[in-house]
Amino acid sequence: MRVDVKGTVVRVAVHVQPRASRSEIIGQHGAALKVRLQAPPVEGAANEALVRLLADSLGVPQRSVRVVAGAISRSKMVEVEGTTEDAVRALALPRNVTRRRSDG
C-alpha cells in the first residue's frame, strides 16, 4: 500500500467505491487502501464521507484529514495529520482474523 510520511503528515492512496450498501474500509486495492462509501459521488458527498470515515477510524478530528488529489476520481490521495504510518497501514488489515487451533 502506498503510504508516505512527511513530519506529522501521513499521505495514503485511496481507492473509493461510492454508492455502496454501507461505508467501510475493506482492505487493499493494488497500492491503495480500498474504501466503500454509501454516499454518491455528487457535489463532494463521497469526499466528505471519506474524510469522516478515515477520521473516525484513525481517531483524529475531521479537520486533520484532507483529500489532496483526485477530488473527482475514484483514485484519491489523502493526507492525515496526527497519526502514524502504522495506524494507516493497520486499516488495510483484515478485521476478523481467525487463528487455527494447533492440536498437539
* 3-state SS, one letter per residue, for 7-76: CCEEEEEEEEECCCCCCEEEEEECCEEEEECCCCCCCCHHHHHHHHHHHHHHCCCHHHEEEEECCCCCEE
Confidence of residue 97 (pLDDT cuts 50, 70, 90): very low
Rounding to the nearest 10 degrees, give the CA dihedral for residues 82, 29, 45, 51.
Answer: -10
Whether the pTM exceeds 0.85: the reply is: yes
**Would you list the domain boundaries of the chain?**
3-90
According to CATH, what is the number of the domain 3-90? 3.30.1200.10
Torsion-angle region of 34 (φ positive above 0: left; ψ -120 to 50: alpha; else: beta): beta
**pLDDT on residue 103:** 44
**Cβ atoms of residues 4 and 82 within 8 Å:** no
Chain segment 31-89, per-residue pLDDT in tens: 999 999 999 999 999 999 999 999 999 999 999 999 999 999 999 999 999 999 999 99
